[in-house]
């Protein structure tokens, strides 16, 4: 049965907004908490060779009738530029540990075909390889983040890739790069040393992987680039705290700059449910899963603090986002799913959490960019649409490289049966004299009257944008690509030293000082 749940109808929304007047939230700057810069790389993205993420998504080929630059869709280039994406992770994911980079260089007609064993079993022709990706990253103004193959590769293979991409002195790999048309090195900084080594990367124990990591990491460097690489160890799956303990205990600080963490939001991992036709119970469970990111970061960070109290090693959440069953009629290995207001809630609360923990979290990558999981862009032939998640990240981009303003948030509870969650989350920052405050109300039924104490904010006057809709299942479709877009938010007023506003159910509001 499809859910035409009473909570999700427009009539119910109109009724419950009036009830929401009973719920209140007070927000103020926390002068006692430590402030830091919110690293722009928290707003990174992830593009794996998975389903229609690369082929028939980002890359359509130079001979396509769809307007493109070197085979990459122009509309996607524009959309990602507008989003100011700071970094892009490639080629995986699980795909990375079956990818041999030399298959994707040289004349395209001479490149071998491969079978994507992880995702759908489809054949790929390697027409999108290292040069294509690094050219795209340069076009976007994004830092490339390359994931190396430890699962089925060799030390020399990854060492050669670093030399091919970054080599300055004359060597066989830099000569090969020049032969293939790239004279100057790309100087790629961010490198993943394997991916999910506890699973698709090789089903390794952390102790075994830590030693393997030490070997690979050692041979990635030379006298020219040893201080330029940012090497990221394959990190824990959700709450595997022992994995993080071993990474921090067994890998010398001089060989590691970051430790990864992967955690997705879902209602039930075994039965993830539909991306659009979900119930109140499923929505609540997904929000509970998303909000758990705060606990995960705190506990993994506490372990890292034992070995690295100066926080020199970053926590890199390079896979996060909502994960549901694939859209009906699509290849189950392609992980194509729609993107609703539920996903906007996931994006808003997760980014607020990352901002608050930006002393340790210094990079994160939403999974994934186009046509896969919680994508910011969906395509269908020549058509392209921007998802609610895209619009949240576009409003939040003002936090990139801004000074965090720690917040105290007194939030009402969002209740479902016997469980409760905090309804309101937020983060604030200041950059170039402009203050940005991002607020999320995840309550699917009730609005919240929020009062922001402005006494400790430099800025006193704000305008606001809102992302909301009539039903929490609402989404942008190719027939209605702009059903959900940011709109001016007028339900805001200033009273003495306080800013008063009403947050509708399941909404994201971003305030900007003027």
Report, as residue numbers or ranges, the catalytic residues. 196, 319
> If residue 396 lies in a helix (H) or strand (E), which one and from where to where?
helix 388-396
Report CA dihedral (387, 389, 394, 397) to the nearest 10 degrees. -160
What span, in angstroms and rounded, lies between the C-alpha atoms of 407 and 488? 24
Backbone angles phi, psi at 396, to 5 degrees: -80, -10
Cβ atoms of 53 and 372 within 8 Å: the answer is yes
**How many angstroms separate the first and last alpha carbons of the chain?**
49
Three-state SS annotation for 330-346: CCCCCCCCCCEHHHHHH
Tokens linked to 433: 């004299």
**CA gap 350, 45 in Å, rounded:** 14
Q: Say if CB 207 and CB 266 are below 8 A apart.
A: no
Instruction: Name the 3-class secondary structure at 2.
Output: coil
- Cβ contacts of 86 within 8 Å, gap of 6 or more: 40, 41, 43, 44, 142, 143, 400
Is residue 314 a contact partner of residue 258, using CB atoms and an 8 Å limit?
A: yes
- Name residue, tokens 């392209």: 384
Q: Say how many residues make up the chain.
A: 514
- State the number of CA atoms in the 13 A half-sphere of 447 facing the CB: 21
For residues 203 and 200, give the distance between their C-alpha atoms in angstroms, rounded to a whole number.
6
């Amino acid at each position: 049965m499809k859910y035409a749940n009473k909570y999700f109808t427009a009539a119910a929304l109109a009724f419950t907004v009036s009830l929401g007047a009973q719920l209140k939230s007070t927000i103020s700057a926390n002068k006692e908490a430590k402030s830091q810069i919110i690293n722009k790389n928290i707003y990174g993205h992830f593009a794996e060779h998975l389903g229609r993420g690369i082929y028939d998504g980002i890359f359509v080929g130079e001979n396509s009738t769809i307007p493109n630059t070197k085979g990459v869709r122009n509309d996607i280039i524009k959309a990602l530029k507008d989003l100011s994406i700071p970094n892009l992770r490639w080629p995986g994911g699980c795909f990375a540990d079956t990818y041999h980079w030399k298959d994707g260089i040289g004349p395209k007609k001479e490149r071998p075909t491969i079978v994507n064993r992880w995702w759908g079993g489809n054949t790929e022709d390697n027409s999108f390889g290292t040069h294509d990706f690094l050219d795209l990253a340069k076009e976007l103004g994004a830092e490339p983040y390359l994931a190396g193959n430890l699962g089925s590769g060799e030390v020399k293979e990854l060492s050669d890739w670093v030399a091919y991409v970054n080599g300055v002195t004359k060597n066989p790999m830099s000569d090969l790069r020049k032969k293939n048309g790239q004279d100057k090195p790309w100087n790629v900084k961010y490198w993943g040393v394997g991916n999910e080594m506890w699973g698709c990367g090789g089903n390794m124990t952390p102790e075994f992987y830590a030693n393997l990591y030490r070997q690979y990491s050692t041979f990635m460097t030379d006298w020219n680039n040893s201080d330029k690489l940012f090497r990221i160890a394959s990190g824990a799956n959700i709450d595997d705290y022992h994995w993080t303990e071993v990474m921090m205990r067994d890998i010398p600080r001089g060989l590691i700059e970051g430790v990864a963490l992967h955690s997705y939001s879902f209602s039930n991992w075994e039965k993830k449910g539909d991306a659009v036709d979900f119930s109140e119970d499923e929505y609540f469970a997904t929000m509970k899963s998303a909000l758990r990111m705060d606990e995960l970061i705190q506990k993994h960070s506490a372990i890292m603090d034992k070995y690295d109290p100066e926080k020199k090693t970053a926590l890199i959440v390079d896979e996060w986002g909502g994960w549901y069953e694939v859209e009906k009629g699509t290849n189950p290995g392609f992980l194509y799913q729609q993107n609703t207001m539920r996903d906007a809630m996931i994006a808003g609360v997760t980014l607020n959490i990352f901002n608050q923990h930006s002393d340790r979290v210094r990079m994160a990558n939403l999974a994934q960019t186009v046509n896969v999981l919680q994508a910011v862009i969906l395509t269908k032939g020549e058509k392209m649409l921007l998802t609610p998640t895209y619009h949240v990240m576009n409003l939040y981009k003002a936090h990139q490289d801004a000074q965090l303003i720690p917040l105290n948030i007194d939030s009402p509870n969002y209740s479902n049966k016997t469980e409760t969650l905090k309804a309101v989350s937020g983060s604030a920052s200041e950059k170039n004299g402009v203050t940005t405050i991002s607020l999320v109300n995840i309550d699917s039924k009730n609005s919240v009257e929020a009062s922001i104490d402005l006494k400790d904010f430099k800025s006193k006057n704000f305008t606001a944008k809102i992302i909301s809709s009539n039903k929490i299942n609402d989404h942008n479709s190719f027939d209605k690509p702009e059903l959900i877009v940011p709109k001016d938010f007028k339900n805001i007023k200033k009273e003495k030293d306080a800013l008063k506003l009403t947050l509708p159910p399941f909404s994201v509001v971003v305030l900007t000082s003027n």
